[in-house]
Structure 1
């Protein structure tokens, strides 16, 4: 009896979801029937974070690194649904023990933050949450768009725990210094404030369902099913989007973009050339943007002496337009980790 009680207490502490628990069952939000994922809800410094993980089913890779996926702003864990089946299929070859998809605070099923949390603070809290959920060990970090800031900050903060990183058309440390980007924050903030007003009046859902909200604002179009997303993942993501919790979170994140990228840029400046040393790094990026964007992507790749940059003639929304590039990038990264691992990084 004491042993059973101890297991119950540990389950509460770790916040691991189950069909009997107090946490929501979100399995239908991803792959649908037969989904093998497990959701964790670790609480750290007063905030609960949702992390959706899939385990490698082979016995040979149980001690391999854990891949952590962070989506672009204003998306969350469901943005990776189109590539999850391919990730599961390739995990044995990649020598990955788990693949975990995070919801930053306020998104998906994570708690809302009472104030805007910078990427630097988020990384500190994420690390604590991973420890609380017993998701420890070496990590492979994958970040799309704004999520790439996470991969860089986490690597600099916990270098001994990072085996390699991949950025997918990622945001660079100079992003916040560009006046057009600063202006876009104002535009996006105003748009989301209008969305919240419409939501309070009950008109936002029909407005979004009529196709008036662009993908860049985080609303999954119904056509996402044809791009590899399950119907349930689309409908659930739409439901989450149509909440003031989500809309407020997007505004909070826009408010920390400049300071977060500026702090990262300052960190790189004081570390000198090749601040990521010989960390295995794959950067995939699109080439239909302007030349400045391409130059900044190449600069990001130069942060490590052990990197490759792979261009694609696609748009910014890789999970929708070119999920295969993400899978190919992970194959290249895990090959690099296996054949040319870091020697100086994290030593």
Structure 2
């Protein structure tokens, strides 16, 4: 007999038996996440246990897609982080940052850490994490506004800095949205599969919530400190350079040139000052002004090396010879062509010697104040010293010394740009790191070449630190060797009680000014 449905009763019985046997096979098979989620359990009374592994927000395509998207973001962030890390040591084309480069690297590190924490604690959303993420996003928005709106910061950070802070901002918003989405997915799946949203957490989940919260709070503190440091930089941007800025090296960056005294029509040579471990403004500037007032010299100039005071940083690597070329170009653009008496201190003598060897008859005298010998470049280029400089640079955006100095010690703009706090800035640390990276190779080769071609008729005077000589017997040997740079050694003075910065004592200042007067006036 045929059924009105188009088949015989026997056929329908066979189909029913087949379906029943298939259902029996499904019921007897080991349960899995996929098979147990096939029935619609919204109206069912047979709910799963809240601890069942099938109860997971990963059941939702939107959650799985979000996780894959976070992984892709993490890979992009890692590549960007690697590029900025490499650019600290060798600048790729188009990635030159006229500031230190440590701020963009800090934002890249922040974005990468944020994404990694999101992946690590992806399945355990927490309200505290979302609050911390909101704080981070708000602070990063302030940072982005500061970098883009303050001309000097925007100039120093360039497109790399702006892209880095905006990337970190977008990733923080992504972390906030991801945590909220996972919480929603978790709620939906628990309602669907267990009948109610789960309020209790396992010990492992509480540990994950604690760790994720601590991680995000640490990131929030880091961003807060970076924001405070940016505010200091915005304040410092209002301090104008006393001299003029000139583009060098194919207009890649600018150097600060300052001259003071009589016009260049004077028959007396101009004193060209090169700073030592710090900028000229932080040491010899005041001495030079007094020398002009006393009539010992008629005019002086100085050029801040790349990364010092108002000068921009140069692309890496930067050897002493490359820095001298940039200084020479800045002087030429400023219309300063000598003749010169070169006065330098410490490591600045390396740069003065290279400049002297390249200018021949334009150099009317060399005054070296406790100069660094080329063999000491091995200490400057020590790997341990370089690693410490790099670590200092990495944490420099936090302003751990600058912020307390400004709040509690009254440090001013001058202090941070060229004064007693300048060594804490990212630009200064980056310049010293560049010095370290090539000291034993490119810079040592440059100074060795300069010694070979140095004009031997240039009058030479050395003023050495007696304290330094007593502390290190090798220092005296090296000072003595430097007296043979030319055949016209005029004087070698050892100031008994003077430190490495000889001009910090009255006796040292008097001797330096006396010897400088003799070289300038012939």
Tell whether the structures are fold-level matches, with TM greater than 0.5.
yes
Contact 2:257-2:302 within 8 A present in 1 as well: yes
Give the 5 Å matches for 1:73-152: 73-90=277-294, 92-94=295-297, 96=298, 98-152=299-353
Give the 5 Å matches for 1:198-213: 198-205=395-402
Once the two structures are superposed, what CA deviation does each residue of 1:76-107 show, in whole Å capped at 9, x if it has no partner? 533324413322213x343x3x2122210111
Contact 2:273-2:280 within 8 A present in 1 as well: no
Q: What residue is the counterpart of 2:201 in the other structure?
A: none
Match of 2:467 among 288, 296, 308: 288
Cα distance between partner residues in 2 of 1:207 and 1:141:
38
Contact 1:76-1:104 within 8 A present in 2 as well: no
Once the two structures are superposed, what CA deviation does each residue of 1:147-198 show, in whole Å capped at 9, x if it has no partner? 001111111111121111111111122323x5xx16x733332222232333
Q: Secondary structure at the match of 2:277?
A: coil
Gaps of 5+ in 1: 1-21, 30-37, 212-220, 224-230, 340-347
Moved more, 77-86 or 102-111: 77-86
User: Runs of at least 4 residues of structure 1 off by over 4 A?
Assistant: 22-27, 206-211
Give the 5 Å matches for 1:62-81: 62-81=266-285
Q: Secondary structure at the match of 1:69?
A: strand
Contact 1:105-1:113 within 8 A present in 2 as well: yes
Once the two structures are superposed, what CA deviation does each residue of 1:16-59 show, in whole Å capped at 9, x if it has no partner? xxxxxx997756x8xxxxxxxx5021212222110222123xx8
Q: Secondary structure at the match of 1:126?
A: helix
**Is 1:193 paired with 2:357?**
no
Q: What is the count of residue pairs matched by the alignment? A: 279
Cα distance between partner residues in 2 of 1:123 and 1:295:
27
Distance change (3 Å), C-alpha of 1:119 and 1:293: same
Give the 5 Å matches for 1:214-229: none
Report deviation, 1:294: 0.8
Contact 1:168-1:284 within 8 A present in 2 as well: yes
Distance change (3 Å), C-alpha of 1:330 and 1:194: same
Cα distance between partner residues in 1 of 2:507 and 2:243:
25
Cα distance between partner residues in 2 of 1:190 and 1:286:
29
Q: What residue is the counterpart of 2:505 in the other structure?
A: 322
Cα distance between partner residues in 1 of 2:512 and 2:254:
31
Structure of greater Rg: 2
Moved more, 165-174 or 255-264: 255-264
Q: Which has the higher contact order (CA 8 A, sep 6+)?
A: 1
Contact 1:165-1:282 within 8 A present in 2 as well: yes
**TM-score using structure 1 length:** 0.69
Gaps of 5+ in 2: 1-151, 156-236
**Is 1:166 paired with 2:339?**
no
Report deviation, 1:240: 4.3
Q: What residue is the counterpart of 1:309 in the other structure?
A: 492
Q: Secondary structure at the match of 2:271?
A: strand
Match of 1:53 among 227, 234, 259: 259
Cα distance between partner residues in 2 of 1:51 and 1:324:
29
RMSD between aligned residues: 3.3
